[in-house]
Amino acid sequence: MKRISILFVCMGNICRSPLAEGIFRHVAGEEGLGKAFHIGSAGLGGWHQGELPDRRSITTAGAHGIDITGQRARKILPEDFDDFDLILAMDRSNIAELRRRSTHADNIHLFGDFALGTGEDIPDPYYGDREDFEFVYARLFSGCNTLVERLGTVSGSWSGKTSSVR
């Protein structure tokens, strides 16, 4: 069985994308599908390279029984565009920058489109408060549940093409 590789991407890889990575890993594990996926997260910039996720992301995830303290921020690399089957950007500015950097964009999608079906941006809670982080958590949790359900059913026959799971 081919493992489906998913990379969640936001601006600095300390708020949204580490939450998404942690939530997805948790939900997949709860469904017994942890081994079906290779999950990661990255940021467009390397400002926080090697750092823990934002303390508010850690606190929010922890309040829901998810530990993201093992994650470290990293900048997206050119090889990520080939190495990951699915790259999910948190907002439209992230997706525009990812597509600008890639020679092929068939595996790059907006999280709000691909996971939620709403086309919404996942707002950056960095300058917000606890409620902003909780809102982001709720949207990511909803989308990650949908992703695990949808991708878990095709992981054994995954072609590496995102059109096969739409």
Q: Which residues are catalytic?
A: 10, 16, 124
On the 0-12 / 13-18 / 19+ scale of CB atoms within 10 A, 123 is: middle
Residues ≥6 apart with Cβ < 8 Å to 22: 61, 66, 67, 68, 71
Tell me phi and psi for residue 32, to 5 degrees. 75, 20
CA distance 91 to 114: 12
Cβ neighbours around 150 below 10 Å, total: 13
